Amino acid sequence: MSNYFQAIQNKIKGPVFSILTPFDPVTEEIDYFSLENYVQKIYSSGGKVFYVMAYNSRYSQLTFEEIKELNAFICKKVKELDSNNIVIVADPPHCSTKVSIEFAQHAERIGADMISLIVRERFYFEDQILKHFEMINNSCNIGILIHEMPFLNGLGGPPVNWPLTLLDRVANLSNVIAIKEDAKDDNYSKDAISLLKDRLSVIISGGGKSQWLRFTDLGCQAWLNGIGVFEPKIATTFWNSWNNNQKYVCDRIVKEIEAPFFEHGVKKYGWHLTIKVALEHFGIMSKHDRMPLMPLPISESNNLKQLFDSFPVNELIQKA
């Protein structure tokens, strides 16, 4: 691995901040004013790693040109704040290898540190996926992040996890330096982390800080933010407290904020609608998305806002 890629890897530790895309509630256009303020808030709260990604960033609601514009906007803003910040952008969730190459080359031109590659085409055999990554790897000189989540099954039946042999082969490509481990299957995650921890930066996804706590001793370096999306200081407070051996602060964040957020919010209303209400409640952006996604009705939103008001956010931030 080159020294350049190694330097990027060394910075992928602790909280990784996924970027939610705000929309104007009337026109449904991207609200770049709110987006700029959101990036500033993350940075001012201590965020260093920014991830524009397929689902949280609403790529499915955007045209390919809008995705490029969004990627370029985030990259420019984040690097203006601090050139040492890390920016990860992504390719569209449903596209050809040719289009993924186009987005990887665009990401390189705009100065992103990594391109996150997701494959939502149906999976038939390993060489299909390996060839896809090889073609992109050989077409650019930018770090590659594997967005690993269960494949759609080309042979019918339920989704299928990446074969570990496939992960091993893709991880050996020269530009592959990180993985978003998104299987949401603890046994599989343990195997994947054990296989890759010495080669790739591993970002665990799907359960926030409590999930990361289950895998940190196995070598998982980072987690994709859950509650840190709506209050970035929660994430950096948790990380700093962990490193300062203030484990009681970490425990309280998990028990008093994260656990009820997922138990009484996400499980009831789903991640994407719940997090948008939280972002609105904390004054970051409108809960509205672009159709066909609709926001939660007022009554359900108010129920969530009462839950959010019960979180001891300021108290725990001040304790650290």
The first and second tokens of residue 44, run together, are: 């001012």
Is it the case that residue 320 has pLDDT exceeding 60?
no
Average pLDDT over residues 144-155: 96
Average pLDDT over residues 50-75: 97
Question: Which architecture characterizes domain 3-225 according to CATH?
Answer: Alpha-Beta Barrel (3.20)
Question: Cα separation of 269 and 33, whole Å?
Answer: 27
Of all residues in the chain, the percent with pLDDT exceeding 90 is 95
Query: Would you kindly state where each structural domain of the chain is located, as residue ranges?
Result: 3-225, 232-320
Residue 150, class by beta-carbon neighbours within 10 Å (0-12 exposed, 13-18 middle, 19+ buried)?
middle
Is it the case that residue 147 has pLDDT exceeding 90?
yes
Query: Residues 180, 192: contact at Cβ < 8 Å?
Result: no
Question: Cα separation of 123 and 126, whole Å?
Answer: 8
Q: In the predicted model, what is the mean pLDDT of the chain?
A: 95
Q: How confident is the model at residue 11 (pLDDT cuts 50, 70, 90)?
A: very high
pLDDT in tens, 80-121: 999 999 999 999 999 999 999 999 999 999 999 999 999 999
Query: Residues 78, 11: contact at Cβ < 8 Å?
Result: no
Q: How confident is the model at residue 15 (pLDDT cuts 50, 70, 90)?
A: very high
Angle between helices 97-109 and 64-81 (to 10 degrees): 30
Question: Cα separation of 116 and 233, whole Å?
Answer: 25
Q: How confident is the model at residue 208 (pLDDT cuts 50, 70, 90)?
A: confident
Query: Residues 300, 269: contact at Cβ < 8 Å?
Result: yes
pLDDT value, residue 319: 59
pLDDT value, residue 17: 97
Give the residue from 55, 42, 56 showing the smallest Cα distance to 86. Answer: 42
Q: How confident is the model at residue 207 (pLDDT cuts 50, 70, 90)?
A: confident
pLDDT value, residue 206: 86
Is it the case that residue 2 has pLDDT exceeding 90?
no
Average pLDDT over residues 258-274: 96
Of all residues in the chain, the percent with pLDDT exceeding 70 is 99
Average pLDDT over residues 245-251: 93
3-state secondary structure the chain: CCHHHHHHHHCCCEEEEECCCCECCCCCCECHHHHHHHHHHHHHCCCCEEECCCCCCCHHHCCHHHHHHHHHHHHHHHHHHCCCCEEEEECCCCCCHHHHHHHHHHHHHCCCCEEEECCCCCECCHHHHHHHHHHHHCCCCCEEEEEECCECECCCCCCECCCHHHHHHHHCCCCEEEEEECCCCHHHHHHHHHHHCCCCEEEECCCHHHHHHHHHHHCCCEEECCHHHCCHHHHHHHHHHHHCCCHHHHHHHHHHHHHHHHHHHHHHHCHHHHHHHHHHHCCCCCCCCCCCCCCCCHHHHHHHHHHHHCCCHHHHHHHC
Question: Cα separation of 164 and 171, whole Å?
Answer: 10
Average pLDDT over residues 55-83: 97
* CA end-to-end span of the chain: 37
Q: How confident is the model at residue 316 (pLDDT cuts 50, 70, 90)?
A: confident
Q: How many residues does the chain have?
A: 320
